[in-house]
Amino acid sequence: MKNDNFVIQGDICWSTSLTALKTMPDAFLVCVEGKSAGVYPQLPQRFAELPLFDYRGKLVIPGLVDLHIHAPQFAFRGLGMDMELLDWLDSHAFPEEAKFNDIDYARSAYGLFTEHLKRSSNTRFVVYATVHVPATLLLMELLEESGLVCMVGKVNMDRNSPDSLREYSAASSLEATREWLGAADTYTRVKPVLTPRFIPSCSDDLMRGLGALRREFNLPVQSHLSENRSEIEWVRKLCPASGSYGAAYRDFDLFGNDTPEGGPTVMAHCVWPDENEIALMARRGVFAAHCPQSNANLSSGIAPVRRLLLAGVPVGLGSDIAGGTSSSVFRAMADAVQVSKLRRVLLDNDDKALTLEEVFYLGTVGGGVFFEKSGMGRCGSFEPRYDFDALIIDDSSLATSGWRTAPFALSIRDRLERTVYLGDNHTIAAKYVQGRLITA
Query: Shortest Cβ distance from residue 335 to a copy of itself (Å)?
Result: 9
Query: Shortest Cβ distance from residue 396 to a copy of itself (Å)?
Result: 12
422 lines the binding site for a copy of itself (CB under 8 A): yes
334 lines the binding site for a copy of itself (CB under 8 A): yes
Residue (23 or 242) nearer to a copy of itself, CB: 23
Q: Out of 31, 32, 69, 337, point to the residue binding a copy of itself (CB under 8 A).
A: 337
112 lines the binding site for a copy of itself (CB under 8 A): yes
421 lines the binding site for a copy of itself (CB under 8 A): yes
405 lines the binding site for a copy of itself (CB under 8 A): no
> Under DSSP, is residue 315 helix (H, G, I), strand (E, B) or coil?
strand
C-alpha to C-alpha distances, 292 to 230, 271, 383, 389, 403, nearest whole angstrom: 19, 9, 29, 24, 31
247 lines the binding site for a copy of itself (CB under 8 A): no
Query: Shortest Cβ distance from residue 229 to a copy of itself (Å)?
Result: 8
341 lines the binding site for a copy of itself (CB under 8 A): yes
Q: Out of 3, 19, 108, 276, point to the residue binding a copy of itself (CB under 8 A).
A: 108
Residue (341 or 385) nearer to a copy of itself, CB: 341
Q: Out of 78, 162, 312, 384, point to the residue binding a copy of itself (CB under 8 A).
A: 78
Q: Out of 53, 76, 187, 234, point to the residue binding a copy of itself (CB under 8 A).
A: 76
391 lines the binding site for a copy of itself (CB under 8 A): no
326 lines the binding site for a copy of itself (CB under 8 A): yes
17 lines the binding site for a copy of itself (CB under 8 A): no
Q: Out of 1, 212, 310, 346, point to the residue binding a copy of itself (CB under 8 A).
A: 346
How long a stretch of residues is the chain?
440
171 lines the binding site for a copy of itself (CB under 8 A): no
Return the ∠ at Cα 366 (arms to 71 and 119), rounded to 5°. 40
214 lines the binding site for a copy of itself (CB under 8 A): no
226 lines the binding site for a copy of itself (CB under 8 A): no
297 lines the binding site for a copy of itself (CB under 8 A): yes
Residue (36 or 294) nearer to a copy of itself, CB: 294
Residue (160 or 425) nearer to a copy of itself, CB: 425
350 lines the binding site for a copy of itself (CB under 8 A): no
Decide: residue 354, CB within 10 A, 0-12 exposed, 13-18 middle, 19+ buried.
buried
255 lines the binding site for a copy of itself (CB under 8 A): no
120 lines the binding site for a copy of itself (CB under 8 A): no
414 lines the binding site for a copy of itself (CB under 8 A): yes
Residue (339 or 433) nearer to a copy of itself, CB: 339
Q: Which helix (H) or strand (E) holds 32?
A: strand 20-32
- Return residues touching a copy of itself (CB under 8 A): 74-79, 81-82, 105, 108-109, 112-113, 293, 296-302, 325-326, 334, 337-339, 341-347, 353, 355-356, 398, 400-402, 408, 410, 414, 417-422, 424, 426
